């Protein structure tokens, strides 16, 4: 008998937590996994909520227990595992049923999957879910890309389980097909930049100022209630204060300094470049993770390349403001990329609503997002957050600190790639006259690419003086 309103395939970290969240809000959920022991563990750990969970042991049993039109949520790795599961389950579904991918997926693949399923009458939803295990269990932030029909079907359940910010559910139908996964991808890109900038400030305190771990934790702790207030600063304080029970050492000092990455940061940068945009602070964060992985080379390089004597590191209040400026700029880059995608794919993304649903539940939730939501609802000259009156004032106050920190780090030979990329972007935007006139001259000289003049219309070429020294050398 069809009993369940939704089915969740994949009972790993996220699938299991979402199933319990739905059950707690009174929804009947069918659960399935390729691994029967995951189902047993999910049922055993559900306590009284087990009454609302319906364990299934085969795909046909899973589909049969779902009310029609069916809604099947996959919480498994994107890519080949998902494609394989879609190929199997589509044979069992009926016209009007909906497949939802709640994992982190490349939005291009989401669009292709939606287009592939549509002729057979199946709906496909790409839904970004953020908040990690705790978010999924007690209230995630969700970014839904779907048809209006699928949104109407899913909305009551998603509203019920979403995180709430002052009563507002942190879930939105952001656009069609790939829009939800695109927005989630950019969310993760911002997450990468925020984490990297926090790590850069930690590095300045550790390697520049020579502070002990407890002192660094104290500094971050003091920022928890100020303008940097956020989930990621909270996680930083907890990380810095956790002691390994086996050794009695600070756990963070025992963790290998090679960062992992599953792809969403990289996708943000790739899509930004494809759209003719730059997300340089996010790119620097992706690159920093990649460089961190080259541990053996770095250890060797420390002895082969000249050391730099660290100079004075700015005081905590300056570090705090610098981190705030960097955070604002990373978000501004992310929102700029989303705006470009919205135009390119005709999505009509509502950036203010996106900021609103990121105010609770997700990994990048922070006090800043409330300001961003306000700024995005207001006047946004040239579509740039850095020009909104709210953020202009914030940046005017905090950019001098960012300059001070980037300068001190540079002179001390301490890498702050994300903070300095953010500052470089800000300084590029801030100049009415760039240096691209020289680039245009070079392009015309070596490739006859042409240029526009300030004093007359049309495309022109230069009558360049002299000859190229390198050409003379080669022919001589
Ligand atoms: N963890 C997090 O903080 C977040 C994760 N996500 C995304 O959610 C999705 C699930 O992540 P998470 O729950 O953390 O991952 P887990 O590794 O905890 O669970 C993955 C689940 O997918 C199943 N699975 C793996 N490969 C296959 C396959 N080839 N066919 C069928 N099932 C398969 C696993 O089964 P088995 O145990 O048998 O391998 C398991 O049930 C991912 O797309 C991830 O990117 C999104 C937001 C946050
Ligand atoms: O989506 C998330 C949060 O929003 C996940 O935590 C994400 O998988 C982390 O990415 P990575 O493993 O690349 O650091």
- pLDDT tens across the length of the chain (476 residues): 679 999 999 999 999 999 999 999 999 999 999 999 999 999 999 999 999 999 999 999 999 999 999 999 999 999 999 999 999 999 999 999 999 999 999 999 999 999 999 999 999 999 999 999 999 999 999 999 999 999 999 999 999 999 999 999 999 999 999 999 999 999 999 999 999 999 999 999 999 999 999 999 999 999 999 999 999 999 999 999 999 999 999 999 999 999 999 999 999 999 999 999 989 999 999 999 999 999 999 999 999 999 999 999 999 999 999 999 999 999 999 999 999 999 999 999 999 999 999 999 999 999 999 999 999 999 899 999 999 999 999 999 999 999 999 999 999 999 999 999 999 999 999 999 999 999 999 999 999 999 999 999 999 999 999 887 766 655 54
Handedness of CA 242, 247, 248, 254 (dihedral sign): negative
Consult the annotation and say whether 248 binds a ligand: no
pLDDT number for residue 422 = 98
Q: Find, among 350, 353, 355, the residue nearest to 339 by Cα.
A: 350
Tokens 């292709």, residue? 112
| Cα gap 240→220, rounded to integer Å | 9
- Strand 71-74 with 6-9, pairing: parallel
- Angle, in degrees to the nearest 10, between helices 231-241 and 213-222: 160
ipTM over 0.95: yes
Pocket of ligand 1 (CB under 6 A): 10-15, 33-35, 38, 75-78, 81, 85, 103-104, 129-130, 132
Which ligand number lies closest to the CA of residue 183? Answer: 2
Residues 6 or more apart from 96 whose CB is under 8 A from it? 68, 69, 121, 123
pLDDT number for residue 473 = 59
User: For 354-417, where are the E strands, in sequence order?
Assistant: none
Pocket probe for ligand 2: among 183, 235, 264, the residue whose CB has the most ligand atoms within 8 Å is 264
- Angle, in degrees to the nearest 10, between helices 367-377 and 389-411: 130
- Rounded to whole angstroms, the maximal C-alpha distance in the chain is 88
Consult the annotation and say whether 188 binds a ligand: yes
Pocket lining: 130 vs ligand 2, CB cutoff 6 Å: yes
pLDDT number for residue 467 = 80
Contact between 172 and 159 under an 8 Å Cβ cutoff? The reply is no
| Cα gap 124→101, rounded to integer Å | 8
Residues 6 or more apart from 31 whose CB is under 8 A from it? 7, 8, 11, 15, 16, 19, 39, 42, 53, 54, 55, 56
Consult the annotation and say whether 202 binds a ligand: no
* Residue 310 CB-density burial (10 A; 0-12 exposed, 13-18 middle, 19+ buried): middle
Pocket lining: 268 vs ligand 2, CB cutoff 6 Å: no
Residues 6 or more apart from 21 whose CB is under 8 A from it? 136, 137, 138, 139, 140, 161
pLDDT number for residue 470 = 67
Buried b (16+ CB within 10 A) or exposed e, 383-394: eebbbbebbeeb
Q: Find, among 299, 308, 304, the residue nearest to 207 by Cα.
A: 308
Domains of the chain are 6-177 (3.40.50.720), 185-429 (1.10.1040.10), 441-475 (no CATH)
Consult the annotation and say whether 289 binds a ligand: yes
Task: Please report, for residues 236, 284, 323, 344, the alpha-carbon distance to residue 210 in angstroms, rounded to integers and kept in the order given.
Answer: 18, 25, 19, 48
For ligand 2, atom 6: residue with the closest CA: 132
Report cis status (omega within 30 of 0) of the bond before 473.
Answer: no
The CA 424 to ligand 2 mean position distance, Å, reads 27
Supply the Cα-derived Rg of the chain in whole angstroms: 25
Pocket probe for ligand 1: among 8, 34, 263, the residue whose CB has the most ligand atoms within 8 Å is 34
Q: Which residues are catalytic?
A: 184, 191
Contact between 17 and 45 under an 8 Å Cβ cutoff? The reply is no
| Cα gap 462→166, rounded to integer Å | 61
Contact between 2 and 67 under an 8 Å Cβ cutoff? The reply is yes
pTM of the model: 0.96
Task: Please report, for residues 164, 282, 331, 340, 354, the alpha-carbon distance to residue 377 in angstroms, rounded to integers and kept in the order given.
Answer: 19, 24, 15, 18, 11
Contact between 341 and 349 under an 8 Å Cβ cutoff? The reply is yes
């Amino acid at each position: 008998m069809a009993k369940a309103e939704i089915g969740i395939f994949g009972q790993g970290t996220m699938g299991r937590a979402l199933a319990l969240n739905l059950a707690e809000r009174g929804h009947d959920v069918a659960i399935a996994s390729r691994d029967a022991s995951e189902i047993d563990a999910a049922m055993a750990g559900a306590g009284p909520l087990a009454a609302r969970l319906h364990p299934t042991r085969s795909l046909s049993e899973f589909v049969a227990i779902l009310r029609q039109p069916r809604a099947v949520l996959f919480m498994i790795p994107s890519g080949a595992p998902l494609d394989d599961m879609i190929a199997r389950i589509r044979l069992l579904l009926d016209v009007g049923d909906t497949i939802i991918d709640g994992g982190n997926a490349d939005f291009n693949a989401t669009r292709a999957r939606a287009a592939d399923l549509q002729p057979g009458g199946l709906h496909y939803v790409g839904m970004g879910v953020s908040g990690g295990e705790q978010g999924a269990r007690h209230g995630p932030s969700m970014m839904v890309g779907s048809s209006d029909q699928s949104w109407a079907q899913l909305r009551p359940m998603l509203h019920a389980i979403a995180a709430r910010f002052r009563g507002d559910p942190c879930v939105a139908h952001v656009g069609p097909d790939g829009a939800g996964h695109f927005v989630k991808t950019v969310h993760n890109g911002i997450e990468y930049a925020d984490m990297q900038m926090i790590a850069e400030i930690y590095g300045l305190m550790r390697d520049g100022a020579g502070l002990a771990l407890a002192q660094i934790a104290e500094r971050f702790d003091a920022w928890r209630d100020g303008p940097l207030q956020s989930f990621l600063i909270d996680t930083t304080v907890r990380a810095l204060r956790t002691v390994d029970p086996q050794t009695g050492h600070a756990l963070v000092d025992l963790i290998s300094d090679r960062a992992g990455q599953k792809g969403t940061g990289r996708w943000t940068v790739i899509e930004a470049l494809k759209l003719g945009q730059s997300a340089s602070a996010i790119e620097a964060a992706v690159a920093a993770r990649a460089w961190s992985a080259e541990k053996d080379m770095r250890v060797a390089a420390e002895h082969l390349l000249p050391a730099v004597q660290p100079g004075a590191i700015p005081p905590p209040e300056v570090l705090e403001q610098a981190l705030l400026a960097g955070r604002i700029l990373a978000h501004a880059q992310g929102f700029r990329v989303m705006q470009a995608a919205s135009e390119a794919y005709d999505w009509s993304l509502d950036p203010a609503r996106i900021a609103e649903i990121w105010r609770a539940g997700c990994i990048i939730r922070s006090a800043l997002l409330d300001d961003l939501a306000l700024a995005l609802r207001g006047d946004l000259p040239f579509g740039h957050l850095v020009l909104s009156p709210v953020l202009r004032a914030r940046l005017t106050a905090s950019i001098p600190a960012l300059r001070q920190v980037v300068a001190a780090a540079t002179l001390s030979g301490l890498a702050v790639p994300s903070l300095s990329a953010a500052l470089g972007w800000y300084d590029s935007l801030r100049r009415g006259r760039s240096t691209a006139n020289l680039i245009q001259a070079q392009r015309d000289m070596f490739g006859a690419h042409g240029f526009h003049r300030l004093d007359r219309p049309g495309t022109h070429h230069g009558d360049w003086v002299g000859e190229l020294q390198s050409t003379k050398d080669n022919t001589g």
